[in-house]
């Protein structure tokens, strides 16, 4: 059996360090914010090459609170990818604003900068690219469009901890980056967690207030804020795991290399890595017109693959009210039918990846 991702194995590899960190928090008497959260914020900001990191409760809140802090509200529009996890859209909707989808570049699966300007209206406030699958989006053209139209840029980095764009770590290319520490992410907690990184002092200040009941001084509430604080137990775990992130991402990159080399002549659509990108390899996504049959064949040989994502946001019942037509966003719709994520993770052995290559090649070439 080759699991898609083995979170138990990840914990066991660091068990001594993680257990010690958790015990330290339990004994400290600090269970909301406090020194562990401060220390993680310092460490993570430094790692991301950003001035500030603000810990919040999860990735969705990181997106939502940042849009709030940017002043996004009812009547506003935010440009989002048509092919993303629904959280990107929900964060916009939670502000009372409208997500305006833009189709991806089929080669990279990331938002196509050439299609963004056509989607801008007088109501547009923010462009929200996603670094999907851990592959950095093409930030320079996006930032140029934002500057030209006076828009802010919030990046969804939930899948891309440690990735670099043109040599610089993701963290503050745009105005801010929203991060998720959901357990299966490259930097994953043992529960929910999230953060925002930014170089913008005013934005960071607003986020610190918004995440804690709109309060800077206890029982003094400046704005109608939220309860969305990073748990110090998770902050302590994240500090341990952050120290291993580069090494674990390097293991992912080595597995990606095995897949890229081994699957080159199979006719599968393989990830395209532009020369300016250093991906975090959160997912290794291939494309195949008979995706469902391929997934079934692999499951029969004990290889667990997933689909990211089977239904694009515009086809979800949650967005039925937006009344997108049957032909809306054909690229997102086509990808949802063809993408398949092969097993990848820091605890997957090279030997297991070779087994996946052999099984995929056999399944594809014997058809
Ligand atoms: C995981 C994820 C999120 C949301 O993170 P949570 O911590 O689960 O709220 C947002 N955007 C993308 C692209 C994600 O993959």
Per-residue pLDDT of the chain (367 residues; tens, 9 = 90+): 999 999 999 999 999 999 999 999 999 999 999 999 999 999 999 999 999 999 999 999 999 999 999 999 999 999 999 999 999 999 999 999 999 999 999 999 999 999 999 999 999 999 999 999 999 999 999 999 999 999 999 999 999 999 999 999 999 999 999 999 999 999 999 999 999 999 999 999 999 999 999 999 999 999 999 999 999 999 999 999 999 999 999 999 999 999 999 999 999 999 999 999 999 999 999 999 999 999 999 999 999 999 999 999 999 999 999 999 989 999 999 999 999 999 999 999 999 999 999 999 999 988 6
Candidate of 57, 58, 60 to mutate for ligand 1, largest count of ligand atoms within 8 Å of Cβ: 60
What is the per-residue pLDDT for 365? 82
What is the per-residue pLDDT for 166? 98
Residues 6+ apart with CB under 8 A from 30: 36, 232
| CA 80 / ligand 1 centre spacing (Å) | 14
Cis peptide before 56 (omega within 30 of 0): no
| CA 178 / ligand 1 centre spacing (Å) | 9
What is the per-residue pLDDT for 16? 98
As for ligand 1, residues whose beta carbon falls within 6 Å of it are 58-60, 84-85, 87-88, 130, 156, 158-159, 180, 182, 192, 194
The one-character DSSP state at 166 is: T
| Prediction pTM value | 0.98
Do the strands 168-169 and 164-165 form a parallel or antiparallel pair, or are they unpaired? antiparallel
What is the per-residue pLDDT for 367? 64
Backbone angles phi and psi of 53, in degrees to 5: -130, 135
Please name the residue that has the structure tokens 């009547």. Answer: 75
* 195 close to 180: Cβ distance less than 8 angstroms: no
3-state secondary structure (DSSP) of residue 138: coil
């Amino acid at each position: 059996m080759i699991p898609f991702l083995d979170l138990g194995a990840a914990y066991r590899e660091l068990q001594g360090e993680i257990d010690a960190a958790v015990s330290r928090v339990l004994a400290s008497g600090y269970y909301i914010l406090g020194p562990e959260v401060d220390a993680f914020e310092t460490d993570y900001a430094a790692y991301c090459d950003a001035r500030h990191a603000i810990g919040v409760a999860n990735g969705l809140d990181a997106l939502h609170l940042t849009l709030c802090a940017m002043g996004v509200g009812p009547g506003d529009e935010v440009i989002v990818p048509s092919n993303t996890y629904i959280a990107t859209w929900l964060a916009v909707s939670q502000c009372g604003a409208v997500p305006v989808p833009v189709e991806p570049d089929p080669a990279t699966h990331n938002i196509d900068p050439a299609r963004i300007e056509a989607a801008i209206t007088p109501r547009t406030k923010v462009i929200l690219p996603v670094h999907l699958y851990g592959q950095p989006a093409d930030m320079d053209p996006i930032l140029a469009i934002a500057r030209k139209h006076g828009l802010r840029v919030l990046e969804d980095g939930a899948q891309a901890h440690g990735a670099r764009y043109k040599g610089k770590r993701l963290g503050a290319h745009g105005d801010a980056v929203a991060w998720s520490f959901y357990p299966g992410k490259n930097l994953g907690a043992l529960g929910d967690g999230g953060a925002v990184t930014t170089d913008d002092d005013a934005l960071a200040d607003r986020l610190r207030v918004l995440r804690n009941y709109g309060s800077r001084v206890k029982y003094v509430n400046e704005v109608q804020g939220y309860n969305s604080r990073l748990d110090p137990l998770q902050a302590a775990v994240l500090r341990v795991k952050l120290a291993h992130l580069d090494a674990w991402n390097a293991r992912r990159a080595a597995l990606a290399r095995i897949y890229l080399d081994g699957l080159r002549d199979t006719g599968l659509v393989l990830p395209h890595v532009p020369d300016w990108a250093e991906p975090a390899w959160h997912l290794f996504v291939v494309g195949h017109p008979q995706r469902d049959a391929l997934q079934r064949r692999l499951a029969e040989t004990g290889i667990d693959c997933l689909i990211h994502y089977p239904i694009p946001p515009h086809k979800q019942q949650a967005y039925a009210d937006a009344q997108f037509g049957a032909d809306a966003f054909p690229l997102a719709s086509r990808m949802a039918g063809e993408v398949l994520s092969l097993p990848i993770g820091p605890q997957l052995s090279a030997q297991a990846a070779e087994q996946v290559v052999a099984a995929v090649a056999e399944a594809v070439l014997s058809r």
